[in-house]
Structure formats: structure tokens, C-alpha cells
Amino acid sequence: MMKYYQNKTILITGAASGIGKLFAERVSEVTGVRLILWDISAKSLQKMEDELAPKTKVVICELDVTDSGQVEREANHIMGQKIIPDLILNCAGIVSGKLFHQYSYQEIEQTLNVNVTGSMNVVRAFLNEMIHRGTGHIVNLASASGYIGNPRMSVYAASKWAVMGWTESLYLEMKEHQTEVNVTAVVPSYINTGMFEGVKAPLLTPILETDDIVERMLRGIAKRKRTIQAPFMVRFTPFLKGILPASVFDWVAGRIFGVYKTMDSFKGRGK
């Protein structure tokens, strides 16, 4: 499995915490890997560089993925050194567990910008060079909320539905034009990274540990899977939603599995 990552340049956004951080730590042990780590937290990035530099080549950049100008400038700087990522892993994301009418306009804009536009900015900056080179792999972190709506997750769910639609369309474009650029969507349920602190797991859908989903990602990416879903009920959700009337599905999801109450005790990371 890990042979896939040998001698690859891997760019990770949201690299200073959660999935991005652990993924970087895991692949840093692979021969010849070069890591490009982007995050908005300079202090956390510096700590990661100190930890990983003895193992592999590491380049860090304090960067806001929502700033297209900053993304383009940093991408051009990297490509000016004849470096093009072999793998882009979009992990940067935020959530605010509120009812929709409680959101400020700024919170709506920020969530969509970070979770959707930010990932698009990063991919857009490097995609032409990947296509020209004839190789590349883009991995976007989506969510099970891209399959099913949920109270207190309206804006987050909207952002992940957008990520799912964009990723699927991008996959089809790359395949149709025979670019050899792979595209993968990662679709997990709640993950124990602190981002969803306080949530209650639905029936038969346990909260994933970070090392579990990262292990699944490492394997799925190496196999060039189109979609990586976890746990099992996430794969089952689109099927149920497709065969059941909407009212019946809502009853099953809400009353039996308890999905619609999972965010009632949400705390999150806070500011």
C-alpha cells in the first residue's frame, strides 16, 4: 500500500490538525516523500515542520485557502521551482453547529468559502500542470452530510453537497479527457478530531477515530478509489434514500437511527 506514496510530492491543506496532520505524519515515513503543508495556523505548522523535517522534506506555508490570490502566488512559487504536487489532499474545513436562522451572514460566507471555494482554489492552481504532466491525484474531504440533511448542519451540509457534486464532475471531466488525473472523494461520518466535539453518534454509525479514517484513506487512495466511505452505514445511506419515500426515510433516519438529534449537544472546537 505505502509503495504508492514513494517519491511523491504531497500537498495537504488544513495540515496542522486532524486528518491532515495525521496523514502527513503517516506518509512522512515513506521513502522519498516531499510534503507541502498549508494551514492558517503558522504556530502549528512550525511545530509540524520541526517534528517531520528529520524524516522527510517539508515545506510549510501559512495560507488562507479562501484567498485565491494568495493560493495562486504560492502555487506559482512552488511550480517556479519545478515542483508539482503528485497528490493534493484538501482537508481544510470548518463547521458551526447552529440552526440556520441563527447564522450570521459572515458565518455562512466563511463556511462555504473554506469548505468549497478554498478546495477549488487549490486544485485550480495546479490542475493544468497535472494535466500537462499526465499524472496526478486529487482527494477532497467530503462528508456523510453530503448525502443527508441534518438539523444544525444546514450550511455545513450545503458545503459538503457542493464538494460532492464538484468532485464527481471533476472526476468525469478528467476521465472523459483521458488526463490520467485521479479524483477521489472521502465521505466519512463524524470523526473524533475535536471538530465535532459533543455530537452523539447515530445508531450503527460509530464516531470514527482519526487513525481509522486515515488508514482507510491511505488504502483507498493507493487503490485509486473514486469514493472512500466509512463506516458501513454511510455507504448504505444513498441506497435507503433512493428506495424510500422522503417521509419514510425521515422517520427511519430520525426516529430509528437518531440522525437528526446528533448535533443537539454539539460543542466543537470553539474559536
| Active-site residue, from 4, 105, 147, 156 | 156
Asked if 156 is an active-site residue, the reply is yes
Whole-angstrom Cα distance, residue 261 to residue 78? 45
In contact, 10 and 25? CB cutoff 8 Å: no
> For residue 5, what are the CA distances in angstroms to 31, 55, 127, 205?
8, 14, 19, 30
C-alpha cell of residue 166? 464538484
Catalytic (active-site) positions: 156
